[in-house]
Each structure stands twice: as structure tokens, then as C-alpha cells.
Amino acid sequence: MASKEELNPFKIAQKQLDKAAEIMKLDPGIHAVLREPMRELHVSIPVKMDDGTVKVFKGFRVQYNDARGPCKGGIRFHPEETIDTVRALAAWMTWKTAVVNIPLGGGKGGVVCNPKEMSAGELERLSRGYIDQVGRILGPEKDIPAPDVYTNPQIMAWMADEFAKLKGYYVPGVITGKPVEIGGSEGRGDATARGAYYTIREAAKKLNLDLKNATFAVQGFGNAGQFIAKILGEAGAKLIAVSDSKGGVINRDGLDPERLIDYKLKNGTVVDFPGTSAITNKELLELDVDILCPSALENQLTKENAPHVKAKIIAELANGPTTPEADEIFFERGIFVIPDFLCNAGGVTVSYFEVVQNIYNFYWDLPTVHEMLDKKMTKAFWDVDKAAEEYKVDPRTAAYIVAVNRVAEAIRLRGIA
């Protein structure tokens, strides 16, 4: 079994950077800057609960690097949130914005809480409380949050409203993933999965895999997982299995993504979806499918299960689903990994489009958003592929080389004094 230290997401993020830094012969001073977050804020958020008691929640905002522009990254509500997870996610945001070449840095936020056990009123007070504490370091020109695990457009709307109270006027560009009615972008809802789809499409071209005859499995059935099931299904691929935190289901003849999404909405889980057999999360990862889409949490693919994975492409919609040891096994076994911060960069790319539209106060239609997203993701995929060929490294290390080069160049140009 991997040790707790080995599975610490921030240690993993640092290890990934170190590997790329060595190969690309990164300047040691810039390497040292990039190994640590630039700034972090730890807060305690008091919330009046429905029963009249007061509960104090721990929250974080990490601003990892702003050399290329304002920090950008989601806010996660999770009972097992830790500062090291937030640091890792903030680091990955820095590489993500750089790999798709948008003028932003990296940040991330989190609150230790279990939203599944909280009422809508409690969640609203917690969301507003988070902004009351963290709002001072946010703003379209400083740091721009977005949704992540267990946060959604409604929560973004409450946060944007609370920020408006602090400022005295509405500043839509302070947060992205908002409902369209209050300055959200068309196409933000499924942007992460749609961006991932563009990279899967390009990977399939590279590997001569016909998506129309391909099979796939999805771990995690939230925003990222549901939309990738739908979009890959629309492209002709056959969904075989899905899972969520409560368990999974399989049908080798194929599952209908739309019906599964409806079922999950009504029942809160995919478990017991009619016409399927039960499958564990562990079994799902080792299924004989062409494309595996980890779309839940970190450290799902480890040195223990990597030798048994049968997929040809692993499309990492989740952040950090693969440990460095598993990465090496996949590279040796010729399994093509589309690394997280490339694969799931569609969300932040459309978030960037959202901020641009907010600042211009001029809004684009859906085809325009899709076209611009496709351009960004396709270019990023082939930039990374070129680096992989040039340096003869796995796609994750190649993605690091592309991204770190861009951030390093920004630091070099701005200077360290």
C-alpha cells in the first residue's frame, strides 16, 4: 500500500514538477519559486445552523502563482478537504492556465464541510461567510474563484452577491461558473467535459482509434462525469459503466447517459439503475474499455491497480487521479494518459471567456464559445504532444514542460528582486 506521505497531493504535485524541471533543465531559482505557493489564507467561518447553534468551519484560499495574470481556480466543499489538497490543486491550476495559454495564474479554495448534510440555508450562509473572510484577496484583477467538487452555480451566485455587498456594486468578473442570468457564460456548465472531449478526440486520432466503435467507463458522476458520458455518447462511443461515491453500475450492451443523469438527479446515486449489475469503483477502473474517464477525486489509479488497467486512453477529468508510480506503469505499458491539467482545462478556459465577457459586458452565443474552446484545447493537446516527442517523455511530463516553460518565462521577464 502507498503511504499517506506518498499520497499527499501536494507532495505529488511537487514531485511532478521536480521531474519536469530536471528534464527541461529549469533554472534552480525559478524552480524554487514554483515549488511553493505564493500566498495562502486560512480562515474560520462561523455559521448559524438551522437549529440555532453556531458551527465554525475551516476554509482556505491558496494563490499559487500570478506571474501570467490573476490567480484562478475553484472552491471545493468537502469533509476531507486539507490545505495540502488545496495547495496541489492551486499548483495544477497554474499549469492548467499556462498549458492552454490563457493569461491567468493559479489558485484554489476549499472549505472543510459536508454539504450533503447541510440545508440550503446553511450552505448559503457558509458561502457568504467564506466571501466575508476571503473577499479581501479576491477580484477580477487579483484572484477569481469558480465551482469545483460539491459547489455549483447557485453557490457562485451567493458568493458573487456577497462580494457585491463588500464592494458596494456588482462585480460579475470576481467569480465564474455563475448562472447565465447574472453574467455566466453560455457553455460553462459542460465546459470541463467538452474540453476533455476535444482532447480525447485528438488522442483518438493519434492512436487511430475510431470513437464510434469505442467503449468507455466513467468514475464519478457529477458535473465532469455526467457531461463526459453525454458528450462522448453523442460522438458515438458506448458507455459501459459508471460509478459515484455510493457504488457503480455496468451493462456491457451500453448505458443511456441521459436516462442515467435523470436517475441520478432523482435518486442521488447511479446505484440500482434498472437493467444493470452492480460494480465497485475498484472494478470499474480495471474494466476492458477503450477509454477510462476518472472524474471523481485524487489517487484513484495507483501502483496497485495500474498493472491491471486495460483502457487504451485514460482521460483525466478529475484532478490528480493518478499517482506518479502509476504514471510510470502506464507509460511503460503504452497506455495513453491525457493528463488532468490538460484534459480538464476546458472549465477554466470557458471561465476565462466568462471573465472577458463580464469585463466587456458583451456576451457570446454558444457556437462561438464551443469554437473558441475547441481551438484552445486542440492547440494545447498538440503543443503537449510535440513536447512529448521532442523530450521522449510521458504526456504529463510533456504538459509540465510546456506549462512550466511559459510560467518560468513570465517570471524571468518580470524579474525577481
108 counts as catalytic:
yes
Report the residue from 13, 102, 318, 373 that binds ligand NAD according to the rule CB under 6 A.
Answer: 318
Report the residue from 150, 197, 263, 273 that binds ligand NAD according to the rule CB under 6 A.
Answer: 150
Number of residues that bind ligand NAD (CB under 6 A): 24
Separation between Cα atoms, residue 62 and residue 246, nearest integer Å: 30
Is residue 147 a contact partner of residue 75, using CB atoms and an 8 Å limit?
Answer: yes
Sequence length of the chain is 417
Is residue 349 a contact partner of residue 376, using CB atoms and an 8 Å limit?
Answer: yes
3-state DSSP assignment of residue 73: strand
Across 80-90, b (16+ Cβ under 10 Å) vs e yields ebbbebbbbbb
Question: Residue 217 corresponds to which amino acid?
Answer: A
User: In the complex, what is the shortest distance from the CB of residue 189 to ligand NAD, in angstroms, rounded to a whole number?
Assistant: 9
Instruction: Quote the radius of gyration of the chain (alpha carbons, Å).
Output: 20
**H or E segment to which residue 281 belongs:** helix 281-285
- 245 belongs to the binding site for ligand NAD (CB under 6 A): yes
Report the residue from 81, 122, 143, 148 that binds ligand NAD according to the rule CB under 6 A.
Answer: 148
The residue behind cell 465497485 is: 280
- 243 belongs to the binding site for ligand NAD (CB under 6 A): yes
Report the residue from 139, 140, 179, 222 that binds ligand NAD according to the rule CB under 6 A.
Answer: 222
- 219 belongs to the binding site for ligand NAD (CB under 6 A): yes
Q: Which of 108, 178, 230, 376 is catalytic?
A: 108
User: In the complex, what is the shortest distance from the CB of residue 263 to ligand NAD, in angstroms, rounded to a whole number?
Assistant: 13
- Mark residue 30 as left, alpha or beta (left: phi above 0; alpha: psi -120 to 50; beta: remaining): alpha
Separation between Cα atoms, residue 339 and residue 330, nearest integer Å: 12
- 59 belongs to the binding site for ligand NAD (CB under 6 A): no
- 176 belongs to the binding site for ligand NAD (CB under 6 A): no
Which residue in the shown chain puts its C-beta closest to ligand NAD? Answer: 222
Grid coordinates in use for 248? 457503480
- 383 belongs to the binding site for ligand NAD (CB under 6 A): no
User: In the complex, what is the shortest distance from the CB of residue 151 to ligand NAD, in angstroms, rounded to a whole number?
Assistant: 8
Neighbouring-strand partners of residue 41: 61
- 190 belongs to the binding site for ligand NAD (CB under 6 A): no
CB-CB neighbours of 2 under 10 Å: 13
Nearer to ligand NAD, 21 or 340 (CB): 340
- 297 belongs to the binding site for ligand NAD (CB under 6 A): yes
Residues catalogued as catalytic: 108
Provide the binding-site residues for ligand NAD, judged by CB under 6 A: 147-150, 192, 219-225, 243-245, 281, 295-297, 317-319, 344, 347
